[in-house]
Structure 1
Amino acid sequence: MSSNANGQAFLLNPKAPEGPTRYPQARSVVTGTRTIYVSGIASVLPDGTIAGVSDSQVPDVRKQTATILETIDKIVMGASGGKGGVANVIDAVVYLTEMERDYAGMNEEWNKVFASREVAPARATIGVKELPDPRFVVEVKAIAVVPE
């Protein structure tokens, strides 16, 4: 582990150029279990495009949510050395730009990944005025705990 007081940084693509905003996709702290703090994740695909966006429609919250949860799975898997995934998320905050329009669709995708309250993380869903890109309609921040 890094000697940094706030744990070890994890980057899904460490060779990607650093943009104007500096943050890792996750930070992890090892104490018998590895706690992984996942930054706010939007639906950006590996090629830089945004899932669920077309020129003629409102962004698709279902596609964006599914992409975000898949990305969180990859981040937790990578940050834990393959020992965990999205199933290890214990807490999440979901940000929606249009609560009335998008909550049900986001929740449908969420429930495909987390099939019951017994396995789902604690969660808060917050309506926000905007996200960093106007094509984002949902963003998720999460904390995962993975056994070492």
Structure 2
Amino acid sequence: MSGAIHAGNAPKAVGHYPHARRVGGLLFLSGIGPRDPATNAIPGNEYFADGRVQRYDIAAQARAVFANVRAVLEASGARWEDLVDVTVFLTDMERDFAGYNAIWAEFFPDPANAPCRTTLGITALPTPIAIELKCVAVAKE
């Protein structure tokens, strides 16, 4: 299958898949989290001595995940404004939805120009992150 995109300035995929794939006029991004591309650290996480997450900052993670999505879009020849659909996965919907929603409003201040969005509460993600985004954008030919 052609059209696979690997973004050098985005965090490495946690599995064996590309950051994105171009199919026709659309660009499909794999699930993208907030890990730092250079260090693999998770912004806003604080850990117990045994490595378990003690607390996290959903605002820091939301800003980082948006930066990572932007990096994949740019590596694909697309722009932030090309996003058309975003699925948001939160590991604690009750605790984090309002904070995430506030960050979303900073990045998409005009709801009429924001992408469609679905937000799901899930029990876990493959790394100790609190948020992941799955995005679809218009692909530039």
TM over 0.5: yes
Which residue does the alignment assign to 2:16? 22
- With normalisation by structure 2, the TM-score equals 0.86
Aligned counterparts, 1:1-148, within 5 A: 4=1, 7-13=2-8, 21-30=15-24, 34-46=25-37, 47-55=39-47, 57-80=54-77, 84-133=78-127, 135-148=128-141
Distance 1:126 1:142 in 2: 14
Question: Kindly tell me: are residues 18 and 53 of structure 1, through their superposed partners in 2, closer, same or farther at Cα, counting changes over 3 Å?
Answer: closer
Alignment check: 8 A CA contact 2:88 2:119 kept? yes
Alignment check: 8 A CA contact 1:74 1:85 kept? no
Distance 1:110 1:40 in 2: 17
Q: Percent identity?
A: 30
Deviation at 1:128, TM superposition (A): 0.3
Unaligned runs of 5+ in 2: 49-53
Alignment check: 8 A CA contact 1:28 1:36 kept? yes
Distance 1:48 1:118 in 2: 34
Aligned residue for 2:16, secondary structure, equals: coil
Aligned residue for 1:41, secondary structure, equals: coil
Distance 1:48 1:128 in 2: 22
Unaligned runs of 5+ in 1: none
- With normalisation by structure 1, the TM-score equals 0.82
Deviation at 1:17, TM superposition (A): 7.9
Aligned residue for 1:23, secondary structure, equals: coil
